[in-house]
């Protein structure tokens, strides 16, 4: 998993309104509507909910990312849910959150970024939630995915979340990962759920055959711009973005890519 840098996130809070307008232009959904769509929950039901949400800084491992908890809290507040950042970090922050009546906790160390509903015990993991949220966005941009060929790049936690959502939207899934064993593990997990997945081993061939793409891998420039056409629609949760800069202009109206927004919104809707 790529560790976010301060530069990736320091604009988030100030640009959420314009981010949401752009998301509506691309998908027809606001961030809250997209997250509700991703988890299959009724918007009217969730909009009436008023849980106390705490975001807890974690200093373990490589430590604090400047602006991270502030970005997370700003996304949650933008969605209409009151979120606050605990004064203490780590265990002290968890204790403070519980003592102040938090129902939902958000916290991230170097390995996992989780949302936890203390009342129900439901846990959402950023990787799987991000994959799910991006596929919901792709489904909206494509006006449905049933029977459509989608190429998934990356068979890690985000890719698995994306694959499960693609299967639920009844897409025809092909997966490519530089590590073929990872593709095979993902295919086996999907097969256990009754979904077939085609494993691609030749990226050039796969990119020539597909115009609906989910880039869930951390590789830079994995999608050369000559593969992009006016039919390409790309949901790209992977950080950094996997297309060459020359290709971004051409595909911008059909590209979903952000460092935290869709993942955090989907996490919240999963644990509400």
State the residues that interact with ligand PYL by CB under 6 A. 1-4, 57-58, 64-65, 68-69, 108-110, 113, 126, 239
Q: Partners of 243 in the beta sheet?
A: 223
In whole angstroms, how close is the CB of 2 to ligand PYL at the nearest point?
Answer: 5
Q: Which residues contact 139 (CB under 8 A, 6 or more apart)?
A: 37, 145, 169
In whole angstroms, how close is the CB of 129 to ligand PYL at the nearest point?
Answer: 10
Total residues belonging to the chain:
272
In whole angstroms, how close is the CB of 242 to ligand PYL at the nearest point?
Answer: 14
Q: Are 61 and 53 in contact (CB under 8 A)?
A: no
In whole angstroms, how close is the CB of 117 to ligand PYL at the nearest point?
Answer: 19
CB closer to ligand PYL, 183 vs 261: 261
CB closer to ligand PYL, 54 vs 58: 58
In whole angstroms, how close is the CB of 88 to ligand PYL at the nearest point?
Answer: 12
Number of neighbouring beta carbons within 10 Å of residue 128: 21
CB closer to ligand PYL, 45 vs 110: 110
Residues 105, 158, 21, 138, Cα dihedral to 10°: -140
CB closer to ligand PYL, 86 vs 174: 86
CB closer to ligand PYL, 113 vs 227: 113
Of 77, 84, 88, the closest CA to residue 105 belongs to 84
Q: Which residues contact 20 (CB under 8 A, 6 or more apart)?
A: 30, 31, 78
């Amino acid at each position: 998993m790529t560790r976010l840098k301060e530069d990736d996130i320091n604009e988030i809070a100030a640009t959420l309104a314009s981010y949401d307008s752009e998301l509506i232009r691309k998908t027809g959904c606001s961030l809250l509507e997209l997250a509700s769509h991703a988890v299959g929950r009724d918007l009217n039901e969730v909009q009436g909910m008023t849980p106390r949400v705490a975001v807890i800084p974690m200093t373990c491992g490589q430590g604090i990312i400047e602006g991270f908890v502030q970005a997370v809290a700003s996304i949650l507040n933008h969605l209409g849910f009151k979120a606050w950042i605990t004064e203490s970090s780590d265990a002290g922050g968890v204790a403070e959150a519980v003592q102040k009546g938090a129902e939902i906790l958000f916290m991230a160390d170097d390995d996992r970024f989780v949302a936890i509903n203390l009342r129900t015990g439901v846990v959402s993991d950023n990787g799987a939630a991000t994959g799910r949220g991006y596929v919901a966005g792709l489904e909206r941009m494509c006006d449905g995915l049933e029977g459509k060929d989608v190429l998934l790049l990356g068979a890690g936690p985000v890719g698995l979340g994306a694959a499960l959502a693609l299967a639920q939207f009844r897409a025809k899934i092909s997966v490519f990962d530089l590590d073929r064993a990872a593709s095979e593990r993902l295919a086996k997990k999907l097969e256990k759920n009754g979904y077939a997945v085609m494993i691609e081993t030749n990226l050039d061939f796969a990119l020539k055959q597909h115009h609906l793409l989910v880039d869930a891998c951390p590789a830079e420039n994995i999608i050369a711009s000559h593969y992009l056409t006016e039919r390409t629609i790309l949901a790209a949760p992977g950080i950094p973005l996997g297309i060459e800069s020359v290709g971004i202009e051409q595909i911008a109206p059909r590209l979903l890519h952000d460092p935290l927004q869709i993942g955090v919104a989907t996490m919240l809707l999963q644990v509400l």
